[in-house]
Amino acid sequence: MSGFDDVNYHFRKAARVMDLSPHVERMLVTPFREVKVDVSITLDNGELGTFIGYRVQHDKSRGPMKGGLRYHPTVDLDEALGLASLMTWKTAVVNLPFGGAKGGIAVDPDTLSPRELERLTRCFVQQIHDIIGPQTDIPAPDVNTNAQVMAWIMDEYSKIHGFSPAVVTGKPVDLFGSKGREEATGRGAVFALEEHLRGAGLGEVRGRTFAVQGFGNVGSWVARFLHERGGKVVAVADARGGVANPEGLDIPRLVEHAKRTRTVAGFPGCDAITNEDLLVLGVDVLVPAALGAVITDANARDVRARIVLEAANAPTTPKADEILAQRGVTVLPDIYVNAGGVTVSYFEWAQNIQQFMWEEDKITAELQRHMREAYATLARLVRERSVSFRTAAFILAIGRVGRATVLRGV
């Protein structure tokens, strides 16, 4: 199935439990707007570089649409459709006043110089500036984009529309960004795990073993927070390789190694491990924190972790999800687990609208409150409906978006 089909599979599974009518189902699934644009720039060597950009706006019933921009060769309309719809359900699960959107550019940013990357970003903004905005659609960082890219977007949009810091989130703190935003997704994921461990009577992070796939912004922060809480991260992998140590990795030193070499591979005192082998290690908690569709029907039966903490977007395919459920593996779903990023993005947007900076302790406390309240509701739905956490998350989100849609008037 395609990425959009995968999301809608879970949507329809929840819709059947809710006895949702076909008309309402179709209305909630159908995207509000799909945009595909040509992004052409002059490269440093004088040649013309032509790239395709996308922005899919899925739903706006609960507020301005919200979602990241990724720069990756695999970006296409279907991927954007699936991720935009995930954002609709994700923002609803943690009860943010946002809808969902997603997009990006089909490009390998490693092939571009910093000046080319800036030109590409500014050209993309020129193509989509009339459909984004602080009260319309608010982009954010995603795969291969960062605070600098968001700063360029804010600056280019402001040239056209006037000073507009709230047009994007994930900006540098020195340019109207929020404290705590960089680590927000990883911190939120660990809060989600802690809520589940407490709620299920399983104790705490300390002493448990973890394998983390992905060591970018999300995975590296997850590993840091787990390490700080006494968790034993025994394996980490990224796109270039992986490392494992059954006694636990020295995460602070690994972070420095990865910053210096741009990979975790080659970290001294460890064994090499592949991404595929990491997914089936005998650990307490598996944390997929890279790209989607890494747990599939081909490897789900070999996953030995008892908890899968989905810090990435859509890391588990529908068939794999069914296999894990049959085997008694608890999957804490992406639309809850990695909602910490969009939650702190909401705080950044609110600060920009207010033109008032929050302190980091307030941001952390508010993030923990959102994750705790969402988990309490999900756990109640799991008990009352006898469903998985993923289905419970979709039931919660569909209910909130559906009520908003009906109240606004069809």
C-beta of residue 205 within 8 angstroms of C-beta of residue 197: yes
- Spatial contact of 266 and 237, defined as CB atoms under 8 Å apart: no
Looking up tokens 């439990």 gives 17
Cα distance between residue 237 and residue 273, in whole Å: 7
Cβ partners under 8 Å of residue 22, min gap 6: none
Catalytic-role residue among 60, 90, 102, 232: 102
Q: Under a CB-based contact definition with an 8 Å cutoff, are residues 333 and 7 in contact? A: no
Q: Which two tokens stand for residue 275?
A: 């991404």
Active site residue 102: yes
* Residue (of 245, 387, 222, 246) closest to 309 by Cα position: 222
CA 252 to chain centre: 23
d(CA 392, CA 409): 26
Closest of 405, 42, 386, 368 to residue 187, by C-alpha: 368
CA atoms within 13 A on the CB side of 344: 30
- Cα separation, 223 vs 255, whole angstroms: 9
Residue 152 CB coordination number (10 Å): 20
Closest CA to 299 of 309, 286, 284: 286
Residue 21 burial (CB < 10 Å; 0-12/13-18/19+)? exposed
Collapsing DSSP to helix, strand or coil, 213 comes out as: strand
The single residue listed with the structure tokens 């009352």 is 384
* Residues taking part in catalysis: 102
